[in-house]
Structures are given as structure tokens and as C-alpha cells.
């Protein structure tokens, strides 16, 4: 079993000669990159244990790469590996740091060495962390540690770069419900279940447990992969419930839904911005927390998610449901650039609280703090949003992307449909645009209609991949 595979230390403000690996230390704090890998036992738990041991040893994790599952190289008759990498800050000098990591390795059973430049499953996570940045002295120094004149990025490209992902047994995965989810193979459909009297589209329809269960069964039959259960409306000017009131609505329905036989192999998400509700929801069977505020409405949310070790959907919104459509919250210089920047800041806060990038799902928040033109720009600019986030973190930019345009007001304004329930055809059109633009999850009310749209989009994208 390999846990800590490769250490590349460098000091803040340090200098490194282009053809040398010597590092001159100029400060007490050092920034390091540590590559992780495991293929024995509970691979994900091995990662969690190693990160916790590093934290206790004075190694502060600041960034995470994506999580990769890869086929073994050279010696192929062994289990698949999990791989990633982290950036960290520590006051341990390089020799003490190396000794600490070796001790963790020995405790956890590491057996073999590694040739970093030959291994895509090491280079991929390193590129996630270091990217193509060229205007930062520290990043330049990292790249100079490569044997190639173009740095680590050139080394990655020589191995095949992004073309390797999804081929030769290397894929990015997200740990969820005791399995590893490769979200790139198909677009996932998240069916909406609102157990609220005041939601804009279906308020009051599914208040009883029987009606809620029946609706979930229908959505599963129609092809839903995830059920998103919400007990508090976040429409503009909705009445705000306390955590206790939200839980009173939520828990009985959640307990009933998780026991539906058709839920086997499916996922449950709970839509809440309260950490108390998130904690109880996960205790009662939820696999994912979907937070429209990305931690802005409950400062403890990030810590709770980190402790629960579950996927976290972080959505972009300014203000709260009562203020999100105020004039000041609708002011953008460039909505895609601004949303990307603000969304990244929320994810960064979560990461510093202990939520790794490999557990993140990002949502640009269609309809939240956006007008009609903003929503259209986002639907057409999903790749631009990813690209902007990628300037700060390639790992975060590669996270699964969720969109939720379903029956939103902007569709009614464009199509002349004041009744939300009459916006399903417009929803399917917006879902089509989103999936072709890079969305991995679509959150919808009408699973059947949008499921057909998603299937067609996936077929077109697969065809594009074969032709390219």
C-alpha cells in the first residue's frame, strides 16, 4: 500500500535554479505538495487517516487536487489505486517534514517507491494543484523542479494530459454513498421533492408522506438518479423557517423516502442552508447536502460538512432569499466572471475548513441573484465559468457542475408562461443548452421530459467524442 508517494517542498519566496532541485529557504513557513495514493483496504479511509495525521503533525492542508481512480501500472495484478495530491503549509523544515511523512507511511504500510515523471496518476493531481500559473514566484519554482524546460505542465502534456482522463483506466471520481462516482460517463438527473406549502412551482402538493413517496417513486421510474428533498422554500421573499421547523417537515419524509425499494442505488440530497439540518439529515440517510448559500447563511455549515465527509453542493447566491433580487445584488460587471470568482471564494472557504475539492459540486445559481439576461449568459457561459475558476484552482474547476433552471421565472418571461407548471418545454431547452455546455447534473421538476433531453445530449456528446 502506498499512502504518501512523493514530497516536493518549497519555501514561500524561495528560489530554485532551473537545472537543479536545490531550494533556498527564506522563511519559517514552507509550502509543500504531497502526492497521495492507496490501493489496499478502505482506500478513501486511508486518505482521510493520512490527512488527519498530517494535520496533527503540523502540516496545514490548504488545497486539494481531484480524486482519481486508476488502474495499476507495471504490476497489474493488484487492486485499482486512488490518487490525489494536496498543497500544505508547515513550519517543519524539509528534513523533519520528510521524516514525519515517512513515519506516517510506515505506520500505514507503504511498501514501494515511485518514478514521478512516468506516472500520470501522480502528475494529474499535481497539475490540479499547480495549474499553468506563470506570474507567481512560488509556482515558477514548483515548475522548475521538473526535468522539462516547460515545467510540470509540459511533463503532463507529454504523458497525454487531459486526453488521459477516461482512458487507460484513469478517471476522476467523487466519493459518495460508499462508492466512487465517475460523473463524466452520463449526465445525472436530480428530481425535486419540495415538502413545502410555499415553493414557487409545486408548493403544497407533497406535504403528506404518502404523496411525497408516490412522487419520488414516479421520478425514479422516469429516470431520476438523485432525489433532492427540500423542506424550506428559497423562492424570493419566502418565509424563513427555524432549523427546528425545517426538521419537523423534513425528517419524517426523509425516513420514508430512504426506505423506498426503488431507491436502491440512487442518491438522496437535502436542500438546506442550516448546519443543524444538514447534520440530522445525514444521520437519517441523506448522501449529499445542497446549500444554496454555500455556507454564507450558517457559518458552521462548512465545519459540519467537513466532519461528515460527504459531498457538498455549493451554490452561488448573493444575500439571502429575501434580499437576493435587490438592485445591488443584481449588479455584475461580467456575470460569468463575477459568479466564478465569488463561487470559488465560497469553495475556498470550505476547503480551508476541511472539505476537500474532491467532495465539491458547484452550482452557478440560476435564478438566484440573477435577472433574465444573467441567467441566459450563465447557460451559454458554463465553460467560461469553469475557465475562470480554473485560473485559481484547476481542481475546483473540474468538479461536477450542477444547474437548476427548472420552471424558473426567466423562462416564463421569455416564453410568455406565467404559470410555472407550463414551463417544462422551456426547461428542457435550457437543460439541453446546459448539458451541451458542460453541466454534469440537472435539477428538474419534470424528470420524464428532461430525461429525454438529457439522453439526447449525452448521445450527441458521445458522438462528438468518437469523431474528435
- Give the CATH number for residue 24: 3.30.70.560
Within a domain: 178: no
Cα 183 versus chain centre, distance: 10
Which CATH number fits the domain that encloses residue 423?
A: 3.20.20.20
What proportion of the chain, given as a percentage, has pLDDT over 90? 63
Q: Are residues 210 and 126 in the same domain?
A: no
Point out the domain boundary residue: 115, 144, 173.
173
Q: What is the dihedral of CA 143, 144, 149, 150, to 10 degrees?
A: 10
Q: Are residues 167 and 189 in the same domain?
A: no
Pairwise pLDDT comparison (179 vs 138), residue with the higher score? 179
Q: Round to whole Å and give the CA distance between 177 and 249.
A: 24
Residue 82, domain member (yes or no): yes
Return the residue matching grid coordinates 437576493. Answer: 324
Told to judge if 443 belongs to the known catalytic residues of this protein, a careful annotator would answer yes
**Residue 407 is assigned to a structural domain of this protein:** yes
In degrees rounded to 5, what are phi and psi of residue 279?
Answer: -60, -45
Do 112 and 234 sit in the same domain of this protein?
Answer: no
Q: From start to end of 67-210, where are the E strands?
A: 67-70, 81-90, 170-176, 179-181, 188-194
Q: Which residues of 406-416 are buried (b: 16+ CB within 10 A; e: fewer)?
A: bbbbbbbeeee
Cα–Cα distance for residue pair 275/115, rounded to 1 Å: 43
List residues bridging with 312 in a β-sheet.
Answer: 289, 360
- Asked if residue 179 belongs to a domain, the reply is no
**Cα distance between residue 198 and residue 205, in whole Å:** 10
Confidence band (pLDDT; 50, 70, 90) for 22? very low
CB of 84 within 8 A of CB of 61?
Answer: no
Express each pLDDT in 405-447 by its tens digit: 999 999 999 999 999 999 999 999 999 999 999 999 999 999 9
The 10s digit of each residue's pLDDT in 38-75 is: 888 899 999 999 999 999 999 999 999 999 998 876 66
Same domain flag for 319 and 463: yes
The pLDDT tens digits of the residues spanning 273-308 come to 999 999 999 999 999 999 999 999 999 999 999 999
Strands annotated E in 210-348 = 226-230, 267-271, 288-291, 312-315
Domain that holds residue 93: 4-173
> CB atoms < 10 A from the CB of 39, how many?
18
pLDDT at 132: 56
102 and 197, same structural domain? Answer: no
Predicted TM-score (pTM) of the model is: 0.89
Q: Identify whether residues 167 and 197 lie together within a single domain.
A: no
What is the Cα–Cα distance from 168 to 119, expressed in whole angstroms?
12
Same domain (yes/no): 123, 72: yes
Q: Are residues 162 and 279 in the same domain?
A: no
Q: Take residue 157 and report the three cell numbers written for it.
A: 502534456
**What's the half-sphere exposure (Cβ side, CA atoms, 13 Å) at 463?**
7
pLDDT digits (tens, 9 = 90+) for 233-267: 888 877 789 999 999 999 999 999 999 999 999 99
Do 118 and 192 fall within a single domain?
no
221/168 same-domain check: no
Q: Is residue 288 part of a domain?
A: yes
Which residue is catalytic, options 408, 409, 423, 464? 408
Number of domains making up the chain: 2
Are residues 385 and 280 part of one domain? yes
- pLDDT tens digits, 200-241: 555 556 678 898 999 999 999 999 999 999 999 888 877 789
Catalytic-role residue among 87, 266, 392, 443 = 443
> In this structure, is residue 49 part of a structural domain?
yes
Angle CA 192–194–198, to nearest 5: 135
In a domain, 50, yes or no: yes
Same domain for 422 and 284: yes
pLDDT at site 300? 97
Which pLDDT score is estimated for 14? 32
Domain assignment of residue 403, yes or no:
yes
Give the end of a domain, one of 110, 143, 173: 173
Amino acid at each position: 500500500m502506498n499512502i504518501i508517494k512523493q514530497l516536493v517542498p518549497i519555501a514561500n519566496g524561495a528560489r530554485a535554479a532551473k537545472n537543479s532541485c536545490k531550494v533556498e529557504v527564506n522563511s519559517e513557513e514552507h509550502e509543500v505538495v504531497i502526492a497521495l495514493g492507496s490501493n489496499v483496504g478502505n482506500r478513501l479511509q486511508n486518505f482521510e487517516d493520512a490527512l488527519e495525521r498530517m494535520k496533527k503533525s503540523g502540516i496545514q492542508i490548504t488545497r486539494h487536487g481531484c480524486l482519481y481512480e486508476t488502474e495499476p501500472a507495471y504490476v497489474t495484478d493488484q487492486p485499482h489505486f486512488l490518487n490525489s495530491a494536496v498543497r500544505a503549509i508547515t513550519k517543519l523544515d524539509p528534513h523533519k517534514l520528510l521524516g514525519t511523512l515517512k513515519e506516517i507511511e510506515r505506520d500505514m504500510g507503504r511498501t514501494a517507491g515511485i518514478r514521478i515523471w512516468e506516472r500520470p496518476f501522480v502528475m494529474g493531481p499535481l497539475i490540479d494543484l499547480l495549474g499553468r500559473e506563470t506570474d507567481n514566484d512560488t509556482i515558477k519554482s514548483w515548475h522548475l523542479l521538473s526535468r522539462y524546460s516547460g515545467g510540470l505542465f509540459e511533463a503532463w502534456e507529454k504523458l497525454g494530459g487531459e486526453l488521459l482522463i477516461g482512458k487507460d483506466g484513469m478517471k476522476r471520481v467523487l466519493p459518495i454513498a460508499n462508492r466512487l462516482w465517475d460523473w463524466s460517463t452520463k449526465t445525472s438527473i436530480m428530481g425535486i421533492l419540495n415538502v413545502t406549502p410555499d415553493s414557487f412551482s409545486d408548493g403544497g402538493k407533497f406535504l403528506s408522506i404518502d404523496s411525497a413517496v408516490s412522487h419520488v417513486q414516479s421520478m425514479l421510474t422516469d429516470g431520476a438518479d438523485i432525489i433532492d428533498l427540500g423542506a424550506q422554500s428559497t423562492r424570493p421573499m419566502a418565509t424563513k423557517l427555524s432549523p427546528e421547523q425545517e426538521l419537523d417537515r423534513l425528517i419524517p419524509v426523509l425516513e420514508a423516502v430512504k426506505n423506498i425499494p426503488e431507491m436502491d442505488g440512487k442518491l438522496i440530497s437535502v436542500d438546506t442552508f442550516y448546519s443543524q439540518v444538514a447534520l440530522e439529515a445525514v444521520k437519517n440517510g441523506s448522501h449529499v447536502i445542497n446549500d444554496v448559500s454555500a455556507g454564507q447563511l450558517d457559518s458552521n455549515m462548512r465545519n459540519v460538512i467537513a466532519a461528515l465527509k460527504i459531498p457538498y453542493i455549493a451554490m452561488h447566491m448573493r444575500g439571502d432569499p429575501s434580499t437576493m433580487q435587490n438592485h445591488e445584488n443584481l449588479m455584475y460587471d461580467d456575470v460569468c466572471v463575477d459568479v466564478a470568482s465569488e463561487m470559488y471564494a465560497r469553495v475556498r472557504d470550505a476547503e480551508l475548513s476541511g472539505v476537500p475539492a474532491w467532495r465539491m459540486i458547484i452550482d452557478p445559481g440560476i435564478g438566484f441573484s440573477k435577472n433574465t439576461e444573467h441567467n441566459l449568459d450563465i447557460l451559454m457561459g458554463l465553460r467560461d465559468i469553469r475557465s475562470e475558476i480554473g485560473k485559481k484552482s484547476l481542481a475546483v474547476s473540474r468538479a461536477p457542475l450542477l444547474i437548476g433552471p427548472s420552471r424558473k421565472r426567466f423562462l416564463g418571461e421569455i416564453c410568455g408562461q406565467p404559470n410555472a407548471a407550463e414551463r417544462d418545454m422551456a426547461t428542457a431547452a435550457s437543460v439541453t443548452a446546459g448539458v451541451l455546455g458542460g453541466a454534469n447534473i440537472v435539477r428538474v421538476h419534470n424528470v420524464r421530459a428532461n430525461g429525454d433531453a438529457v439522453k439526447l445530449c449525452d448521445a450527441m456528446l458521445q458522438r462528438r467524442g468518437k469523431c474528435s
